Structure formats: C-alpha cells, structure tokens
Amino acid sequence: MPATGGRETFQDVTAPLTGRPAGATTLYPVLEGGSGALSDVEEFSSATSTGGTRTGEGRGDGTCLDIPGGTWNDGTPAHLRTRHTGPDQKRTPAWLRQLALPVRRLALSAGGSR
C-alpha cells in the first residue's frame, strides 16, 4: 500500500486478484514490511467487477455479532453468540455482493459486569 503521509490521511487502494482458484477459497489480507507501524486499515471490502455468479449461502466461523436495534451509537451493547440456521441469518447472493464491512476502531473488552 502506498504511504499516505499521515495517520489521519486516508487513501483508497485496489488490487486485482490474479491466479485465483476456480472454486471457493479464503482470502487473507497480509501486510508486510520493515520495522515499526505498517498500516492502519480502516476498511476492507471486496467486489466483483464482472458481475459474476455466486451460489450458496454466506458462511463464516459459526459466530455472529448482534447489534440490538441495528444502531451503532456510542454505548450500544453488542452480543457475540453462536450462529443458528434460522432464516434471519441466511443472506442472498445479491445482498452479499453489496456487502462492505467497515472497521471503525472496534474495541472489545474482556471481563466486567456485563
């Protein structure tokens, strides 16, 4: 990734995927470099430029992060729980093609009274 010149100076970076397998696979972003801080990735998303066909349901590691009420206001409690197979957790391929998951300083606390 190119240097942006500062920690609050953001830049969009794109990269084509070459040599990819014909079937499903897992994509891991890997950041490598010299000593010191490498990158502050605020958002990672993927998209298809060809409008290709996707089949099947979205899959993950079997856990969900629930945000009650669908709000991201400060202080909103989040619940990490085991995924079930109900219809509310089945996503259509069209929905998945539009999915971009912003990561905005998600802080998780271990322990406490809640």
Mean predicted confidence (pLDDT) in 32-55: 60
Phi/psi at 108 (5° precision): -110, 135
Nearest to 53 by CA among 22, 90, 27: 22
Place of tokens 């060809």: 50
Beta strands in 1-114 (DSSP E): 43-45, 63-66, 79-82, 100-102
Task: Give the count of alpha carbons within 13 A of 100, CB side only.
Answer: 10
How far apart are the C-alpha atoms of 90 and 103, rounded to whole Å? 22
Q: What is the pLDDT of residue 16?
A: 75
Give the separation between CA 85 and CA 47, rounded to whole angstroms.
26
14 confidence band (pLDDT: 50, 70, 90): confident
Look at residue 1 in the predicted model and tell me its pLDDT: 60
pTM over 0.75: no
Q: What is the pLDDT of residues 53-111, one digit of tens each?
A: 545 555 555 666 666 666 666 777 766 667 666 665 555 444 444 444 444 444 444 44
Q: How do the domains of the chain map onto residue ranges?
A: 1-51+99-113, 54-96
